[in-house]
Amino acid sequence: MPFIATNPATEEVVAEFDGHTPAEVDHALEHAAAAFQQWKLTPMKDRAQLMLRAAELLEGEIPIVAELMTSEMGKTFNSAKGEAAKCAATMRYYAEHAESMLADEIVATKGSLSGYRFDPIGAVLAVMPWNFPLWQFIRVAAPTVMAGNVMVLKHASNVPGCAKYIEDLFMRAGFPKGIVTTLFIGHDQIATIIADPRIAAVTLTGSDRAGRSVAELAGRNLKKAVLELGGSDPFIIAGSADMDVTVPLAVTARVQNNGQACIASKRYIVVKERADEFISKFVAAMSVVPTGDPMDPSTVLGPVVSKVQLDELTSQVTDAVAKGAVVHTGGAPLKGKGYYFPATVLTNVPADSRAGCEELFGPVAVVQVVDDLHGAIEFANATPWGLGGAIYATDQAEIDAAIAGLDVGMVFANSIVASMPELPFGGTKESGFGRELGEFGLREFTNIKSYYVA
């Protein structure tokens, strides 16, 4: 099957690649297995030098790869440049810190020497989405490769140019063939690859439906799995919130990456004493978000990724309005070329509407008014997801209450939820399990091997 990239802003085909045959896939897995046998023995300092070289190459090509990301999935050129720079910085971080993070831990026992070490486990299959074409993979690959493993990438079919760029980047940096391999394969081939004995583990970023499927396959084959799934992150506006700080970040939290981020705030939960002020200022700010050509430096909101996604978002909003939701701004696709949906604010959204119980993957914000902070936390937790959450408050007690009370993997105060190499990233409940990034992410795909010397 061909892998085709269509520019969401112009609706024109920008890239097309042929899929790999079964024989080519088998050949690639053989290379990966052989590469692992050598890579796991490669000294950490040599791994780090290659990772730093890859980061250096990426930094020199930021405008090129940013334009590629923009053309394939529609993110603004500015945000694409930021994504590429973040990838390079993360590669540098693990090149510099992996050795100390993976050092043996010595434990006092009756023996003369005992503790545990972190050994690599093999080839890790990464099933990745389109919304952050470089970052989603690099944030897994940088620590996992530094830990001594190799990566096999099955990327989203609509970003084939980005998938090819990733493999080429590692090869040009001097990594041996097979350390990072891109496969152009369909979803129907994932089960076969997970079952292959040359694959040691699998990581997936995607929908909860995809996560259930991959988890089942991994369990059936007794393979380690890490799942980063969907989210409907709460954005809590507490009584002590500073609106001058809160409102601009509320807009960014919803329209970042054209509204297509698993950790984007989607449910805005405001205490009633601040509701009128927040809704008024939020709607005013959302109504003037610069929307248009993602290559234009002044554009903040570009198109959603595809016609399918545009129709899905439209259907969710239409259903909510039919059931009583109020549209304060936006609410319908923009006319003309491209898959554009404007920044939208909804209130009075019924819980049984699609917008009230589904993840909104586009620039649509749902605002809910509650009595107090306790009610806000309770409402925030009343969802099957548990990825991230944010609270905006100047009172430390309110911040502490949210950090302790939110049933999520990450809580950010007076800042939008974000990923960074220093902190573990992941969720709970139906948002998945396992962690990326931080020390925990570095150790996810290692064998924690205990040893004891009498």
Q: For residue 374, how far is the Cα from the chain centroid?
A: 29
User: At 8, is the secondary structure helix, strand, or coil?
Assistant: coil
Q: What is the DSSP string of 136-199?
A: HHHHHHHHHHHTT-EEEEE--TT-HHHHHHHHHHHHHTTPPTTSEEE----GGGHHHHHHSTTE
Which residue's structure tokens are 């799942």?
227
* Average pLDDT of the residues in 263-268: 97
For 340-381, the pLDDT digits (tens) are: 999 999 999 999 999 999 999 999 999 999 999 999 999 999
**Could you read off the pLDDT of 146-181 as tens digits, one per residue?**
999 999 999 999 999 999 999 999 999 999 999 999
Judge whether residue 1 has pLDDT over 80: no
Q: What is the pLDDT of residue 2?
A: 85
When the pLDDT of each residue in the chain is averaged and rounded to a whole number, the result is 98
Mean pLDDT of 258-262: 97
Crossing angle for the helix pair 135-146 and 77-101, to the nearest 10 degrees: 20
Q: Which residues pair with 228 in a beta bridge?
A: 205, 432
- Each domain of the chain, given as residue ranges in start order, spans 2-229+431-453, 233-420
Q: Which residues are catalytic?
A: 228, 262
Q: Which residue type sits at 113? A: L
Residues 92-104: tens digit of each pLDDT: 999 999 999 999 9
Q: What is the mean pLDDT of residues 418-446?
A: 98
Q: What is the pLDDT of residues 117-134, one digit of tens each?
A: 999 999 999 999 999 999
Write the class of the CATH domain 233-420: alpha beta
The rounded distance, in Å, linking the Cα atoms of 191 and 298 is 44
Hunting for tokens 């709607």 — which residue is that? 283
Q: What is the CA radius of gyration of the chain?
A: 22
Distance CA 83, CA 161 (A): 16
Q: For 2-229+431-453, CATH number? A: 3.40.605.10
Strand 265-271: give its sheet, edge to edge: 326-329, 344-347, 364-370, 265-271, 233-237, 388-392, 410-413
